[in-house]
Amino acid sequence: MAGQLPGALAIDYGGVSGPDWYAGAAARIAAQARGDRWIAVLHSGAGGFAPALATAAPDIAGLIFVDAVLPYPGHSWLDTAPPALADRLRRRVIDGRLAPWNQWFDEDAVTRLIPEASARAAFIGELPRMPFDFLEAVSPADPGWKQLPAAYVQLSGAYDSEAAEAQALGWAARRARLNHLAMLSDPDKVAALLSEVCASLSGS
């Protein structure tokens, strides 16, 4: 959910409100594409937007999940989260909004994940305070996303099960032991992985 790759279409939570959290964000992203063919690169919790994007963007050419959750149609993000994480996030809500992503955890790991100080400061400065209502919103159950070419890029051990499921589905997959924010700490390596899976999608 946090951060974006250069040139990627970013999910903007500002101006999007329930009950159309998913449809609203997907429509804004589809509008940015301006009718060109494009591939959605979904990082972390943004993987849950795949069904809404497939519905909103008839020109979408494929999906790449990067250290991301897989879609959970008919459920909310909170339904899929470990109970301990869900409870922790509830304690970090102020005026209906979550603390920035780097404050979701008992120990701030951003210093370890992004060693370079200026990149780390820029990342933290752009972290939104997400409305907690979004985590309780139910993702649309549109199955159209399953018809799109898809690939998975794993960056950290936290996404072992998602990468394994992607491979079981027959998707192109690349596994690298980097870290969840490696697009900032190792951008060249992540770009190379994305180039490889993009090539595999174009041949689908």
Q: What percent of the chain has pLDDT over 90?
A: 67
Rounded to 5 degrees, what are φ and ψ at 116? Answer: -75, 125
Q: How many CB atoms lie within 10 A of CB 135?
A: 20
35, pLDDT greater than 70? yes
Token couple for 61: 């050419």
pLDDT given at position 106: 75
pLDDT given at position 202: 75
203, pLDDT greater than 70? no
Q: Output the DSSP codes for the chain.
A: -----TTPPPP--TT--TT-HHHHHHHHHHHHHTT--EEEEEEGGGGGGHHHHHHH-TTEEEEEEES-PPP-TTSBHHHHS-HHHHHHHHTTEETTEEPPGGGSSSS--HHHH--SHHHHHHHHHT----BHHHHHSBPP--GGGGGS-EEEEE-SGGGHHHHHHHHHTT-EEEE--S-TTHHHHSHHHHHHHHHHHHHHHHT-
Give the mean pLDDT of 12-16: 45
CA distance 35 to 186: 31
7, pLDDT greater than 90? no
Give the mean pLDDT of 24-37: 85
Task: Locate the domains of the chain by residue range.
Answer: 21-77+138-202
pLDDT given at position 196: 93
pLDDT given at position 5: 32
The per-residue pLDDT for range 94-106, each reduced to its tens digit, is: 999 999 999 988 7
Token couple for 58: 């008839």
pLDDT given at position 9: 40
Burial 60-78 (b: 16+ CB within 10 A, else e): bbbbbbbbbbbbbbeebbb
Q: How many CB atoms lie within 10 A of CB 157?
A: 12
Quick check: helix, strand or coil at residue 182?
helix
174, pLDDT greater than 90? yes
CA distance 133 to 21: 9
- The CATH superfamily label for domain 21-77+138-202 reads Alpha/Beta hydrolase fold, catalytic domain (3.40.50.1820)
Residue 158 near residue 199, CB atoms below 8 Å: no
The per-residue pLDDT for range 114-145, each reduced to its tens digit, is: 999 999 999 999 999 989 998 999 898 888 89
The per-residue pLDDT for range 36-75, each reduced to its tens digit, is: 789 999 999 999 999 999 999 989 999 999 999 999 999 9
92, pLDDT greater than 50? yes
Give the mean pLDDT of 191-203: 89
Quick check: helix, strand or coil at residue 115?
coil
Quick check: helix, strand or coil at residue 24?
helix
8, pLDDT greater than 80? no
pLDDT given at position 4: 33
Mean pLDDT of the chain: 87
